[in-house]
């Protein structure tokens, strides 16, 4: 067995700069990253386990064999997708759509909401000036909190 290669999700959306929130989806079981919130094309899909999201980019997955399936929207050639770390089934990839109105799904991925976990992480400031502002802001709130806690009477 070879070495497991895990890729980091590049969160390309949202406001850039310090203090930005990084929104990513991870495996519910092993917490390996799969996709950015900003790569969701639709939240209106139905999967095997309930609601599902349509993504344009997904990483850290392995593909099962291609097969034809009759889905809610018609016949498609799809392959199941699995977590590269724990091998749990996550959803599927659309290989081919037979109806013209469904062609936009080709090459896209379905991740089942029941099988993934959303995480929102605050990206810390990089520049020294921004870090100083960040620390000042935190210190200000810490002193207000300390004063407030000291003035609350204990019963």
At 20-49, the pLDDT tens digits run 677 899 999 999 999 999 999 999 999 999
Cα angle 79, 80, 81 (rounded to 5 degrees) comes to: 115
Q: Which tens digit of pLDDT belongs to each residue from 44-73?
A: 999 999 999 999 999 999 999 999 999 999
**Tokens found for residue 89:** 């089934």
> Greater confidence, 107 or 143?
107
Domain ranges of the chain: 1-124, 125-155
How is domain 1-124 classified at the architecture level of CATH? Beta Complex (2.170)
* Predicted local distance difference test score (pLDDT) of residue 22: 77
**106 closest CA partner among 98, 116, 114:** 98
Distance of CA 4 to the CA centre of its chain: 20
Q: Name the pLDDT band for 104 (thresholds 50, 70, 90).
A: very high
Q: Which tens digit of pLDDT belongs to each residue from 128-137?
A: 556 566 566 5
Within 13 Å of residue 147, how many CA atoms lie on the same side as its CB?
A: 6
- Beta bridge mates, 50: 47
Mean of pLDDT values over 95-109: 97
Do the Cβ atoms of 42 and 124 come closer than 8 Å? Answer: no
Say how far apart CA 7 and CA 117 lie, in whole Å.
17
pTM here? Answer: 0.73
* Predicted local distance difference test score (pLDDT) of residue 14: 53
């Amino acid at each position: 067995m070879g070495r497991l290669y895990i890729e980091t999700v590049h969160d390309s959306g949202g406001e850039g700069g310090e203090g930005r929130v990084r929104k990513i989806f991870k495996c519910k079981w092993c917490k390996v990253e799969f996709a950015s919130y900003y790569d969701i094309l639709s939240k209106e899909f139905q999967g095997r386990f309930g609601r599902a999201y349509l993504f344009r980019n997904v990483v850290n997955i392995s593909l099962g064999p291609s097969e034809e399936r009759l889905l809610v929207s018609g016949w498609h050639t799809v392959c199941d997708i699995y977590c590269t770390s724990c091998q749990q089934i996550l959803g599927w990839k659309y290989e081919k759509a037979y109806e013209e109105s469904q062609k936009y799904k080709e090459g896209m991925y379905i991740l089942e909401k029941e099988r993934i976990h959303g995480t929102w992480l605050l990206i810390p400031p990089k520049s020294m000036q921004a870090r100083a502002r960040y620390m000042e802001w935190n210190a200000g709130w810490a002193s207000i909190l300390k004063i407030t806690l000291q003035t609350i009477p204990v019963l």
